[in-house]
Chain A
Amino acid sequence: MSEESLRAKSGRSARRRAWDRWMGRLLPFSFAIAILPILDMIYWIGARALPTLTWTTLTTDPTGLSGGLYGPLVGTLDILALSTAISTVLGVAGAAWVAEFAGPRWADVCRTGANLLAGVPSIVVGYFGYFALVLYFGWGPSLLSGSVTLAIFLVPYIFRATDLAISGIPRDLREAALGLGASRGQYLTRVGLPVALPRILNSILLAASIGIGETAPLLYTAFFNNYPPTGLTSKTGYLTGLIWNYYDEPAHFGTEVTLAFQAAFLLLLIVIGLNVLVRVVSRRYERRLRGLFA
């Protein structure tokens, strides 16, 4: 039999390669379609926020028609810290239990529950927080009610990612730890959680950046005012609430609309900051874990 040439034959394979080339050239355009609205939005918000954004804006409270963003900014950071802390404890502990200790039936119940919770609209979670925490527990509209409500909304994100991260650890590694005489708890704290840590941190920061943009869970639970919280039980301002209240005020009145844009700009900065943090942190840990999942 004579040997066949390695050169590509004309016809079908040539047509395929041409198609391949064209599709390769089109791909950057689909990327552009996705990225352009985001760039436009940053420009649109920045153009309205930046010209009058000064240090004073960040250090004074809003005062009816004008003022700054101090109170809502502090309130947002407080809510963010509290709700992220609460949802991290609940989410990580719950996922660790489900992944390592729960029997298959309980694990199934918890995972389904988490999926259901993730599908509940945030305004419904807010309403639940209003009835359960503000009214029934009598916590009133407060930093605490708002943060706990938001934490309930965020738990599924951390729970699901942590569960996947722990369950996804190579079986060999778990058996190696147990084979050395580790209890399941020791396996979790010394091998499971450290190996899953990059993905858990990722999910915490993702939950934080989802949480920072939420308004609905807070409207009925933290209410809104212009000031930073004075304690767990005080009402508080927060940036998304300020945007919700101010963005449709008449533009010729004071600087309220500008304040709303400045609040949006700060939120963008915080979210971008969280994302950069995610990348830096997970890259550092991934270097340590390189070769483990090969």
Chain B
Amino acid sequence: MNPTLLEGAAAPKSTAVPDPVITVEDLGVTAGSQILLRGVNVRVPDRALSAVIGPSGCGKTTFLRCLNRMVELTPELRRTGSVRYRGEDIYAPDIDPARVRRRIGMVFQRSTVFPTSIFENVAFGLRLEPDATMDIGARVEASLRRAGLWSEIRDDLDRPALSLSGGQQQRLCIARALAVEPRVLLLDEPTSSLDPVGTRKVEEMLSALRNEIAIVLVSHNIAQAARISDRTLFFYEGRLIEEGPTPQLFESPRERLTEEYITGRFG
């Protein structure tokens, strides 16, 4: 297929992102006869936070999981279309999915700490590709600082990670994902099981991070998307209905569906 043709086709929808870190073209996902995603074209900007919103079952999570090949861990799903990271097709046959996921990290809805110490949780990704020159202790500390957790647990690094509170566990998962220094961080409703204090801390952390790396945040919470994102993507029934800079999308949405969703008429 002619790449320039494809670029041209995708251009009208996403002209506002000149130098995307991830480019999604004509992405579709099916599970048997059920269509989960179709015809999705997105350009994910670098050093910005993109929020993905939409009602339950609209394909937000499936979309997110396509961006670092996590979608392949569900064998029933079939994917079509392309996802490129800095121009490189991440689904090409010679690409190692493990390497993709080190560049494009992921944090899940439920905190998923490993049953080891706090320190070992953060060091997990660093130990996968041993590097004698790396100071693991320093990297762990830096990651915990970036996740805003350092001051709370600096004296407890050897404690079991499972003994932390829910909000702390989630921030530990973010620190763990940051430790391998990904260029993109995908978050799937990271605050949905947290209390308001935990939610606020995660949001503060994401606001600080969004100037450093690309963040894609799936959120069930429209207010959260409006608060902390630079761009917003609205999905409905497996399709990307509208995307644009967050203030524009919330103040003057082009599509009627978007307006109805953000004003709470459904969803």
Contact = CB atoms under 8 A, between A and B. Distances in A.
Contacts of A170: 112
Nearest to B114: A191
B98 A177 contact: no
B108 interface: yes
Contact of B124 (A172, A174, A175, A177): A177
Please classify the interface of chain B as helix (H, G, I), strand (E, B), loop, or mixed, using the class held by over half of its residues. helix
A212 to B, nearest CB: 32
Interface stretch (A86-94, A157-165, A269-277, A283-291): A283-291
Interface residues of B, number: 29
Nearest to B160: A288
A190 interface: yes
B105 A173 contact: no
Interface residues of A, number: 24
A181 interface: yes
Interface of B: 68, 70, 73, 75, 97-99, 101-102, 105-106, 108, 110, 112, 114-116, 124-125, 127-129, 160, 162-163, 173, 176-177, 180
Contacts, number: 70
Contacts of A180: 101-102, 105, 124-125, 128, 176-177, 180
B154 to A, nearest CB: 22
Contacts of B112: 170, 172-173, 175-176
Given A186-B128, A290-B162, A291-B162, A177 B114 contact: yes
Query: Which has the most chain A C-beta neighbours within 10 Å: B68, B102, B115, B129?
Result: B115
Contacts of A176: 108, 112, 114, 173
A190 B106 contact: no
A174 B110 CA distance: 13
Contact of B70 (A175, A191, A194, A289): A175
Contact of A181 (B110, B162, B173, B180): B180
Contacts of A175: 70, 73, 106, 108, 112
Contacts of B127: 190
